[in-house]
Amino acid sequence: MSSYDNLMNLTGTHIRGYQLSRMLGHGSYGVVYEATCNSDTIAMKFSVQEEDVRIEASALQLLYYSDISPRFHFRGNYGPFHIIGMELLSYDLESIRDMTPWKSLKRPTLIRIAFQMMKCLQALHEKQLVHRDIKLSNFALTQPKTPGNQVAVKILDFGLSHVYADENGDLKDDPRNLAFSKMKYASYDVCLGCDPMPKDDVIQASYAILYAGGFDFRQKLKSPEDDLMNWKRELIRIPGDTLPLMMKFMTPFFELVGELNDICPVNHSLLQQRIQDSLPEMNASSDLVLTQEDGQPLLI
């Protein structure tokens, strides 16, 4: 049995005083468990990729006080596995999308989510950190607060992240040489071979917003490579013509995304303003609320 198969079978195990109570999710190299110690419940991420875990732990520490990523608790080992203990979040946004009846979030919810995604990106870009793996499942909601069940959007999974510049603003290479141009959901420039920069996080977030809004981005990614590239290029060039009908209301935001480049710093506040302009009658900066309806989560 490979070590990855073992990673999937750790429920019940005791580690660092915590008992792994259930598996929460898994990705290409990692498995995340809920872990409990008396009344304290956290998330523990296990991976065989030591370097990715080290980088993720340092990103979470760097962002500790920004409050846009899970709070970091510890880093450690368990046999061949590298572990991060962190704040337990609730549903990731792809699960929320999948649980909605029409696989699409309503406009007022969508703009609030988009607004908070920009807040997450702003906080990490301010620290010269680029995420490079932005997708809907890498955003998750906090545990609902009492008494109003308010939740916030936080950003997950910093295994591919990179500090792209030093204190003087000089660009820093990543010795890992990861093949981002092969990543299906990479931005147009990155597919062409450019290094992923903050604006590419925003562009990938714009794909995640389309997906959350009901557009079948998963299907789009299955298109022949040339078609997918054309679509990504046209979405930047003429968003008003390229956006699917149900997402045309967000043209003000997508127009600004289309103007981003690697020379001018990303203006996250202006992106938030454009999200607000897309649906002026609703407040994009108001709290999200997570409740249950017929046993299903309901995010408004």
Ligand X SMILES: Nc1ncnc2c1ncn2[C@@H]1O[C@H](COP(=O)(O)OP(=O)(O)OP(=O)(O)O)[C@@H](O)[C@H]1O
Sequence ranges of the binding site for ATP? 45
Residue 25 touches ligand X, criterion: CB under 6 A: yes
| Least distance between ligand X and beta carbon 31 (Å) | 7
Comparison of 30 and 214: residue with beta carbon closer to ligand X: 30
Pick one of 7, 20, 33, 45: the residue that binds ligand X (CB under 6 A). Answer: 45
Q: Which stretch binds ligand X (CB under 6 A): 22-30, 112-120, 193-201, 221-229?
A: 22-30
CB contact at 8 A, 251 and 278: yes
Pick one of 9, 11, 21, 28: the residue that binds ligand X (CB under 6 A). Answer: 28
**Cα separation, 17 vs 20, whole angstroms:** 10
Q: Which residue, among 116, 47, 37, has the nearest Cα to 78 in the 3D structure?
A: 47
Residue 83 touches ligand X, criterion: CB under 6 A: no
The residue with tokens 């992923």 is 196
Residue 29 touches ligand X, criterion: CB under 6 A: yes
Pick one of 10, 20, 43, 257: the residue that binds ligand X (CB under 6 A). Answer: 43
* CA-to-CA separations, 137 to 31, 52, 92, 116, in angstroms, rounded: 14, 18, 5, 15
| Least distance between ligand X and beta carbon 137 (Å) | 4
Pick one of 85, 159, 196, 258: the residue that binds ligand X (CB under 6 A). Answer: 159
| Least distance between ligand X and beta carbon 252 (Å) | 30
Comparison of 142 and 276: residue with beta carbon closer to ligand X: 142
Residue 137 touches ligand X, criterion: CB under 6 A: yes
Residue 297 touches ligand X, criterion: CB under 6 A: no
- The DSSP line for 252-269 is HHHHHHHH--SSSPP-HH
Pick one of 13, 16, 27, 107: the residue that binds ligand X (CB under 6 A). Answer: 27
Pick one of 129, 156, 197, 284: the residue that binds ligand X (CB under 6 A). Answer: 156
Q: Which stretch binds ligand X (CB under 6 A): 152-160, 218-226, 265-273, 288-296?
A: 152-160
- How many residues bind ligand X, per CB under 6 A? 23
Residue 53 touches ligand X, criterion: CB under 6 A: no
Comparison of 137 and 206: residue with beta carbon closer to ligand X: 137
| Least distance between ligand X and beta carbon 234 (Å) | 27
Q: Indicate the annotated binding residues.
A: 45
Applying CB under 6 A, the residues found at the interface with ligand X are 24-30, 32, 43, 45, 70, 86-89, 92, 133, 137-138, 140, 156-157, 159
